[in-house]
């Protein structure tokens, strides 16, 4: 199966590293992967996005215009890429940073309250891992254990002391979506 995913947000939100980590996790699982970043000259604060393709078969091109899933970390990204999700695809967004919600009804839509969750973990730098964990609970494109293994390769060694908080963030993201889908008794 092939998964074509777009991660988008402002520079500094960890969009590129989120995509790179997922691509690396897919590679560790023996899948074919492609990671194609795109960002403006203002790395931090400007817009950034990346396309990740993970597949069981060869990937013919890393250039995609319609996605199985779009993960938007802010309003401009949601506005720009909502129309790029294939019908019956997945649209995830940080509902803490989105004022005008989605308009499509043919998607699985998952709003994720990232601001509240980073306050619980007391670390604002793990928003991307909370979102990635939430995504992995909706689309099992890679195992969390593979993502954690990938982080040891993607994160510079000077940040390896943050691996535990990143693991907690991934788990919290997964829990958020599971709890939101579970009806109260």
Per-block mean pLDDT, blocks of 10 residues, the chain (185 long): 94 91 97 91 72 94 93 94 96 90 88 88 89 95 96 92 94 85 51
The pLDDT, as a whole number, for residue 184 is 45
The pLDDT, as a whole number, for residue 59 is 93
The pLDDT, as a whole number, for residue 41 is 62
Residue entry with tokens 């500094």 = 12
Give the number of domains in the chain.
1
Residue 20 is part of which domain span?
A: 2-181
Query: CA 90, CA 114: separation in Å to the nearest integer?
Result: 18
Query: CA 48, CA 36: separation in Å to the nearest integer?
Result: 11
Domain with 36 in it: what CATH number? 3.40.920.10
């Amino acid at each position: 199966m092939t998964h074509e995913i777009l991660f988008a947000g402002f520079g500094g939100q960890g969009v590129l590293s989120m995509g790179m980590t997922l691509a690396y996790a897919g590679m560790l699982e023996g899948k074919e992967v492609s990671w194609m970043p795109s960002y403006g000259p203002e790395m931090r604060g400007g817009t950034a996005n990346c396309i990740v393709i993970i597949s069981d078969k060869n990937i013919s091109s890393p250039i995609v215009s319609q996605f199985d899933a779009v993960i938007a970390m802010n309003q401009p990204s949601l506005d720009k890429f909502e129309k790029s999700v294939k019908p019956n695809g997945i649209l995830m967004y940080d509902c803490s940073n989105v004022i005008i919600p989605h308009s499509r009804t043919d998607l699985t839509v998952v709003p994720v309250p990232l601001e509240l969750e980073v306050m619980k973990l007391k670390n604002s730098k793990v928003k991307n891992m909370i979102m990635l964990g939430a995504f992995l609970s909706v689309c099992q494109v890679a195992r969390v254990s593979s993502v954690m293994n990938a982080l040891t390769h993607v994160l510079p060694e000077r940040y390896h002391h943050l691996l535990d908080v990143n693991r907690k963030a991934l788990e919290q993201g997964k829990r958020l979506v599971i709890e939101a889908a579970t009806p109260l008794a």
